[in-house]
């Protein structure tokens, strides 16, 4: 966070959310203690991310900030000043990661989602991983996803969906 | 190695490997769960409720002063135990039913165990909802307000262990119900000895081998990621409830009976739930009632939501099982005796179901050929988190001793436990050996490499100097087949054909992730094959709303996928009949001269597409709503099994599961990718139960220490071994498909399979799960 512009109460802050710079007023639009997850969900209606544990243990609130997967429940909204945020609402519906999670169904692995509650967190973690490492090994995939809990237990299918997404991205010439 | 299952009957839609119908929307994060809907944006003026939680394992409120909380800016309503309407409210239970059926207050399954008062003055575990609830303009204010309530407590002695709780002189939690903390006879569960056949002592008398064993099953919790929440809003006398409870009809009945409101004045709406796993039965939870009272008092909508700490709300009942078995030299079991002490925690709720009802069901099927059989259970109160429903209710605890006694007896007899199982278990309506059981065990043995890997206990090779490997399995009868679902009553579904040939499908059930929604669309497409319809032409209605007028089929017993699909077969027939009557009048032919094939009306000399005929008509949709009671034909049940291979480091005590093979005979596979997702997915809870998940208390202060997702260890992707799912279609039940539920059973056998594999690896038995390094080292005599 060393590069982030400083902010104080009653100041304005600017956050680029899903490609659009938006200005908010501290004290009016959000409070100094408002978490980024609460602000995005309740203040702005980005309900794709979920708040399940609210203590950085489950990964359901994962978003991408300045290219990195982060837990939005562990960040204050004011800390996002000057940052670029991507929520799952900012991904196109044909994003290779979304398609791979949606379609995963080959024999032997099950589906990559069941109740769907943890899914946006897994999708965003995967998106950040593939942005950085478009061709990860299975060990790298498992390591990257180890901070996200799926109680329905779709881990194996999720890992396979990540490899399918990587293959799709490669087939598109790494353009997505 | 991936081997797709082989369907017994090849169908166009049912049984396929394909994406879920909600895969795309869920992958995009689009579905709205209760917490996403219940916001100030959707409900202007929304207030937030918090409740006082008893800070002691057992205490009574002597006095309470709420004046400071009332004075806090933003507090809008307070209800306390002193309010006349709460004082007059009837005592209740938070598990009126297992959610298979809808029940009234008088008809609740465990009517003798009404040990809860809504916001009473008496707390029986550190976390009990007591005394006061407050609604305020934000969660933070409500939380602060609760802290400002001044309470004078009478701290009472507590007991944290069921054995201690049964002893004379122990603190008694609910003396009017259980004078010695042991639940008395009840009409559903029966007496302490709830199953008796033959004479067990006599059976032990002429046995060649008699063996006794004990197990302890600790208490994991459901761990749904979607915290429980609800919103209650009054508009005049009309009450609306939005929640992620999975039983809308029962929630309506619960609120109607507790608040004395007519049913038509209550509307309950639920849709997506972020994992259910049996969370607290039907959800007859006090929080619905005090949230309604707060909303009434404030005149504004009120939201109540569990924090993660609050989500540690109920658990699988910890159970201490004792088993004695007698058998002849050839492996024929002559006598079986099971005795359990089930810790039900602070409230009885639905625990007797796990301790008596579920084992009695197992006795009826798997143990039908054992001539002398006795089962007894003692359900005991302690000042810990209440036991309630959890995926695999009662069966998991029972399987832990069942799988162990089979393994132990086989060792004593010098038999292969697979052979011993096939020889003794089945169900009285089938032939022996049971074809399903035989197929399941033989398939598991083949896939895990049983013959090559199984050795004498502790007698295998040494790996890396300190590690030993072993294999083990456990088996269980599956549940539930149709005949076990009769109590559910009518299952309803409606197919509506729209004039352009597309379809809306009302098969009301709250979507909890099980995959039954996809099964229903597949079942609907299959049943409507005469219309030449494709899946994409069918919209599944995802919101369950009691105002819709149809009964919801609750996601319990893992049975919804096939129960509703069986109804759709009948609904499609009725729809076809209506269409033929309509077509006959339009085309001026006799009904018996007309058929519909691949979307075309076909009569001698005439043909027209259904769509064309409908679009030329009055454009009124054609609906067929059918109710069907599950078929009670006694078809028995199929079998399930888990096989495990483990590696144990004998110096650190760390056990690692290397591989699991999960075999389910399904009758009919309704949706293969979904069934395999349940088989693989269930192992996360199973491995958690077997290896890491337990609730830890401070034994002196009686307060929980790990009610959070950091210290309560649910498996991550790195903790999971490879899982091989195997689907079989050997047994067949009643109806068109004759399927059986599989979702719950996928995890039932795994902890015992792992524990048996650990024994095979190291030659020392661990009595208790989770199989922590400490317990393994103790078993090895190293600490």
pLDDT at A1: 38
> Domain check: are B618 and B668 in the same one?
no
Smallest CA–CA distance from A103 into chain B, residue: B19
Domain-embedded: residue B605:
yes
Contacts of B26 in chain A (CB under 8 A): 101-102, 113, 116, 119
| DSSP tag of B137 | S
pLDDT at A51: 98
pLDDT at B1: 62
Nearest CA-CA distance, residue A93 and chain B, Å: 7
pLDDT at A175: 65
Q: How does pLDDT run across B302-320, given as a tens digit for each residue?
A: 999 999 999 999 999 999 9
Say yes or no for a CB contact (<8 Å) between A157 and B677: yes
pLDDT at A7: 46
- Per the CB < 8 A criterion, the answer to whether A154 and A112 are in contact is yes
In the β-sheet with B606-609, what is the strand arrangement from edge to edge? B595-597, B600-603, B606-609
> Domain check: are B447 and B542 in the same one?
no
Say yes or no for a CB contact (<8 Å) between A108 and B717: no
Q: How confident is the model at residue B499 (pLDDT cuts 50, 70, 90)?
A: very high
Is B718 within 8 Å of chain A by CB?
A: yes
A151 pLDDT above the threshold of 90: yes
d(C-alpha A170, C-alpha A167), whole Å: 5
B554 pLDDT above the threshold of 60: yes
* DSSP per-residue letters across B283-333: ---HHHHHHHHHHHHHTS-EEEE--HHHH---BPPPEEEEEEEEE-TTS-E
Say yes or no for a CB contact (<8 Å) between B29 and A105: no
d(C-alpha B431, C-alpha A128), whole Å: 56
Contacts of B22 in chain A (CB under 8 A): 116
Is B702 within 8 Å of chain A by CB?
A: no
Domain assignment of residue B426, given as a range: 422-482+634-779
How do the domains of chain A map onto residue ranges? 12-87, 96-171
> Domain check: are B689 and B770 in the same one?
yes
Hey, how many other C-beta atoms are within 10 angstroms of the C-beta on B542?
A: 16
> Domain check: are B725 and B623 in the same one?
no
> Domain check: are B520 and B546 in the same one?
yes
A5-14, A100-109, B104-113, B712-721: which range is least confident on average? A5-14
Query: What is the Cα A135 distance to its own chain's centre?
Result: 19
Fold topology of A12-87: Ubiquitin-like (UB roll) (3.10.20)
Interface residue of A47, A56, A114, A143 to substitute, partner B, most B CBs within 10 Å: A114
Domain-embedded: residue B748:
yes
Query: How many cross-chain Cβ pairs, A to B, lie less than 8 Å apart?
Result: 206
Q: Which of residues 503-532 of B touch A (CB under 8 A)?
A: 511-515
Q: How many domains does chain B have?
A: 2
Question: Which architecture, in CATH terms, is A96-171?
Answer: Orthogonal Bundle (1.10)
d(C-alpha B401, C-alpha B181), whole Å: 24
pLDDT at A176: 64
> Domain check: are B577 and B703 in the same one?
no
Is A45 within 8 Å of chain B by CB?
A: yes
CATH, residue B612: 3.30.365.10
Domain-embedded: residue B184:
no
Domain-embedded: residue B85:
no
What value does the mean pLDDT of chain B take?
A: 96
B419 pLDDT above the threshold of 90: yes
pLDDT at A173: 86
Q: How confident is the model at residue B520 (pLDDT cuts 50, 70, 90)?
A: very high
Say yes or no for a CB contact (<8 Å) between A117 and B275: yes
> Domain check: are B530 and B660 in the same one?
no
A93-97, B406-410, B430-434, B606-610: which range is least confident on average? B430-434
CB within 8 Å of B88: residues ≥ 6 apart: none
Q: How confident is the model at residue A15 (pLDDT cuts 50, 70, 90)?
A: very high
Nearest CA-CA distance, residue A152 and chain B, Å: 5
Q: How does pLDDT run across A83-114, given as a tens digit for each residue?
A: 999 999 999 999 999 999 999 999 999 999 99
Nearest CA-CA distance, residue A83 and chain B, Å: 22
pLDDT at B42: 95
Interface residue of A108, A120, A127, A141 to substitute, partner B, most B CBs within 10 Å: A108
- Identify the three-state secondary structure at position A85: strand
Mean pLDDT of B45-59: 98
According to DSSP, the residues that pair with B607 across neighbouring strands are: B602
pLDDT at B2: 81
């Amino acid at each position: 966070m060393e590069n982030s512009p400083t902010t104080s109460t009653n100041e304005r802050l600017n956050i680029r959310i899903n490609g659009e710079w938006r200005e908010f007023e501290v004290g009016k639009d959000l409070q100094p203690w408002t978490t980024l997850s609460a602000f995005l969900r309740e203040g702005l209606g980005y309900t794709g991310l979920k708040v399940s544990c609210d203590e950085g243990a489950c990964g359901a609130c994962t978003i991408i900030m300045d290219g990195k997967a982060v837990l939005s429940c562990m960040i204050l909204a004011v800390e996002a000043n000057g940052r670029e945020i991507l929520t799952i609402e900012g991904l196109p519906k044909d994003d290779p990661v979304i398609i791979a999670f949606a379609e995963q169904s080959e024999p032997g692995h099950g589906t990559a989602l069941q109740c769907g509650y943890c899914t946006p967190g897994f999708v965003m973690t995967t998106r950040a991983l593939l942005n950085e490492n478009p061709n990860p090994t299975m060990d790298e995939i498992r390591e990257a996803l180890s901070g996200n809990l799926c109680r329905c237990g779709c881990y194996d299918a999720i890992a396979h969906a990540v490899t399918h997404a990587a293959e799709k991205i490669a087939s598109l010439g790494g353009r997505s | 190695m991936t081997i797709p299952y082989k369907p017994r009957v090849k169908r166009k839609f049912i049984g396929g490997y394909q994406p879920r119908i909600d895969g795309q929307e869920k992958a995009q994060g689009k579905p709205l769960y209760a917490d996403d809907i219940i916001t100030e944006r959707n409900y202007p003026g929304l207030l937030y409720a918090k409740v006082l939680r008893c800070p002691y394992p057992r205490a009574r409120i002597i006095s309470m002063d709420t004046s400071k909380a009332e004075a806090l800016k933003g507090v809008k309503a307070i209800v306390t135990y002193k309010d006349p309407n709460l004082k007059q409210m009837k005592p209740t239970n938070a598990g009126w039913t297992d959610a298979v059926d809808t029940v009234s207050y008088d008809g609740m399954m465990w009517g003798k165990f009404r040990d809860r008062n809504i916001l009473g003055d008496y707390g029986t575990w550190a976390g009990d909802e007591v005394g006061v609830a407050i609604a305020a303009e934000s969660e933070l204010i409500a939380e602060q307000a609760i802290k400002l309530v001044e309470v004078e407590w009478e701290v009472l002695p507590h007991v944290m262990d069921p054995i201690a709780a049964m002893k004379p002189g122990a603190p008694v939690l609910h003396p009017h119900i259980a004078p010695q903390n042991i639940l008395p006879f009840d009409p559903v569960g029966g007496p302490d000895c709830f199953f008796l056949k033959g004479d067990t002592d006599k059976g032990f008398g002429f046995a060649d081998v008699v063996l006794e064993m004990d197990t302890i099953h600790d208490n994991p919790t459901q761990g749904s990621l979607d915290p429980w929440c609800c919103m209650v809003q009054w508009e005049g006398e009309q009450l609306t409830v939005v929640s992620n409870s999975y039983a809308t009809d029962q929630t309506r009945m619960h609120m109607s009976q507790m608040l004395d409101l007519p049913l038509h004045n209550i509307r309950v709406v639920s849709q997506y739930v972020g994992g259910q796993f049996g969370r607290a039965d039907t959800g007859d939870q006090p929080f619905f009632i005090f949230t309604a009272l707060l909303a009434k008092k404030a005149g504004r909508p009120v939201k109540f939501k569990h924090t993660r700490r609050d989500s540690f709300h109920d658990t699988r009942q910890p159970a201490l099982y004792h088993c004695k078995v007698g058998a002849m030299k050839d492996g024929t079991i002559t006598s079986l005796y099971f005795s359990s002490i089930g810790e039900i925690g602070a409230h009885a709720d639905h625990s007797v179901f796990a301790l008596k009802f579920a084992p009695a069901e197992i006795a009826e099927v798997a143990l039908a050929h054992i001539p002398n059989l006795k089962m007894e259970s003692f359900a005991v109160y302690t000042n810990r988190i209440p036991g309630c429903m959890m995926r695999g209710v009662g069966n998991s605890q029972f399987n832990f001793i069942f799988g162990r006694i089979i393994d132990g007896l086989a060792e004593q007899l010098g038999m292969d436990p697979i052979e011993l199982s096939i020889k003794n278990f089945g169900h009285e309506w089938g032939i022996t050996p049971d074809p399903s059981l035989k197929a399941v065990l033989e398939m598991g043995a083949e896939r895990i490499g049983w013959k090559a890997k199984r050795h004498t206990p502790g007698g295998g090779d040494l790996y890396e100097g300190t590690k030993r490997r072993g294999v083990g399995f456990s088996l269980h009868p599956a549940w539930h087949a149709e005949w076990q679902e009769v109590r559910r009553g009518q299952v309803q579904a409606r197919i509506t054909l729209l004039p352009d040939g597309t379809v809306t499908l009302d098969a009301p059930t709250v979507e909890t992730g099980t995959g039954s929604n996809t099964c229903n669309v597949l079942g609907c497409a299959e049943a409507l094959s005469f219309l030449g319809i494709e899946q994409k032409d069918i919209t599944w209605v995802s919101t369950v709303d009691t105002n819709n007028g149809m009964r919801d089929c609750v996601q319990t017993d893992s049975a919804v996928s096939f129960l509703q699909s069986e109804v759709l077969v009948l609904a499609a027939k009725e729809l076809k009949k209506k269409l033929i009557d309509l077509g006959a009048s339009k085309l001026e032919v006799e009904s018996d001269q007309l058929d519909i094939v691949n979307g075309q009306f076909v009569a001698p000399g005439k043909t027209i597409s259904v769509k064309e005929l409908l679009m030329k008509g009055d454009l009124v949709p054609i609906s067929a709503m059918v109710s069907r009671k599950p078929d009670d034909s006694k078809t028995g049940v199929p079998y399930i099994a888990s096989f495990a291979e483990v590696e144990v480091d004998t110096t650190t005590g760390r056990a690692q599961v290397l591989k699991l093979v999960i075999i389910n005979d399904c009758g009919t596979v309704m949706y293969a990718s979904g069934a395999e997702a349940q088989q693989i997915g269930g192992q996360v809870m199973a491995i958690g139960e077997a290896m890491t998940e337990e609730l830890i208390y401070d034994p002196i202060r009686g307060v929980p220490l790990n009610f959070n997702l950091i210290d309560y260890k649910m498996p991550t992707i790195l903790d999971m071994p490879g899982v091989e799912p195997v689907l079989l279609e050997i047994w067949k039940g009643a109806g068109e498909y004759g399927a059986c539920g599989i979702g719950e059973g996928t995890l039932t056998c795994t902890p015992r399979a792992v524990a048996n594999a650990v024994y095979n690896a190291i030659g020392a038995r661990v009595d208790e799960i989770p199989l922590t390094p400490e317990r393994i080292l103790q078993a090895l005599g190293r600490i």
